[in-house]
Amino acid sequence: MEEIVEKNKCTGCTACMNICPKHAISMVEDEEGFKHPVIDQDKCIDCGLCKKTCPVLNTVSNKSFNKCYVAYNKDKKSTLIKASSGNIFELVAKHILNENGIVIGAAFDNDNKLKHIAIADIKDLNKLKGSKYLQSDLNNIFSYIKENINVKKILFVGVPCQVAGLKAYLKKDYDNLITIDLVCHGVPSPKLFAKYIKELEIENNAKVINYNFRDKVSGWDTYSNTITFKNKHITELHNNNKYMKLFLTDIALRESCYDCNFKTGNKYSDITLGDFWGVKKYYPDMYNKNGVSAIIINTEKGNNIFNIIKDNTIYKECKLEEIISGNPSLKISGKCPSKRNEFFKELDTCDINNLTKKYIKKRSLYKRILNKGKRIIKKIINKG
């Protein structure tokens, strides 16, 4: 067996690696910085279990519960500010931890590498909070879950394809497992982020000790990126940050993200969480400048969890279409830019500044003036 699934369709979920009875599969980083399964042919017994497990090859449509809410955590303001949106994740996580359970999510290590880790103590919860806009390394976390799922309640949080991979690997539903997937625009290359961090460190002659993708110092709506060094920090609006520009224009995404199998209708999670970007339009009374969440309940199990935490939230039921209007990536994949391959060929030889200049189209002067005028008018209306 030479290939499990076509490379441009592989999500890197690790289900095949974890299911292999002979440990013949390893996840190897390609030239773009994304990990793909590689089979050791000397160990492979051609059982086909990897192909039978791959969620891309075995995607099934799911009938989601699809009960939706606009909500935010009603805890103190400082707690809400530290979260990406309305801080609903913390309420679910604390419930699991208080039940002597385990919470698994993405966290940066000391070298700014993003990996899924397991925590069992509330004091470690901050490691998992906040958005991280790159693909995390799952490594052997699926096997760890299977080893513990019969004796511990487990909350797993990841992007939709990671949740699908976990469910495909486990082969059945477990009462002890709660899964949350996040509204996903697509996952950028970890290699790109590592390059960006390295260039920041050289430019500032200091190590990056923390990266906050969703600092609310400028507000939830117009969030900033804050990079913390030992003796200083740099804050930029997300639309001025070079890395975020490359991410949001889709040029640095994994190939499978341009044709994602796990949009609305193919959800494997119990709950989907994201930002309710249309809150001012649909529910102006629910707007909170410190963040508002969109919650999509996909299963009865997810509904039960929401009923447990809802008294700690300010919430209102809403429609799925209202959430999708501000989060189109729930329904459609990003379009692959024509120069994507060219971009990745230059990733090793061109610095981030020049990559941004070359591959991010500047808006015309007319559009810039028009958008600035709209912002001024909006401010005047809001003051009135």
- Digits of tens for pLDDT over the chain (384 positions)? 578 999 999 999 999 999 999 999 999 999 999 999 999 999 999 999 999 999 999 987 776 778 999 999 998 776 788 888 999 999 999 999 999 999 999 999 999 999 999 999 999 999 999 999 999 999 999 999 999 999 999 999 999 999 999 999 999 999 999 999 999 999 999 999 999 999 999 999 999 999 999 999 989 989 999 999 988 999 999 999 999 999 999 999 999 999 999 998 778 999 999 999 999 999 999 999 999 999 999 999 999 999 999 999 999 999 999 999 999 999 999 999 999 999 999 999 999 999 999 999 754 333 444 454 445 444 444 444
What is the model's pLDDT at position 194? 97
Domain ranges, ordered by start, for the chain: 60-349
Give exposure, 72-84, as e/b (b: 16+ Cβ within 10 Å): bbbeeeeebebbb
Q: Tokens in use for 63?
A: 């009938």
What is the model's pLDDT at position 1? 58
Its pTM stands at: 0.92
Own/partner pairs, 341-347, CB within 8 angstroms, 24+ separation? 343/251, 343/252, 344/31, 344/32, 344/189, 347/32, 347/33, 347/189, 347/191, 347/192, 347/195
Bridge partners, residue 70, by sequence: 294, 316
End-to-end CA distance of the chain: 67
Distance CA 139, CA 39 (A): 16
Distance CA 219, CA 224 (A): 8
What is the model's pLDDT at position 59? 84
- CB of 217 within 8 A of CB of 224? yes
Pairing of strands 154-158, 177-182: parallel
Taking each helix axis as running N to C, give the angle between helix 88-98 and helix 300-309, from 0 to 180 degrees, rounded to the nearest 10. 90
SS (H, E, C) 185-231: CCCECHHHHHHHHHHHHHHHCCCEEEEEEEEHHHCCCCCEEEEEECC
What is the model's pLDDT at position 78? 63
What is the model's pLDDT at position 53? 97
Q: What is the DSSP letter of 364?
A: P
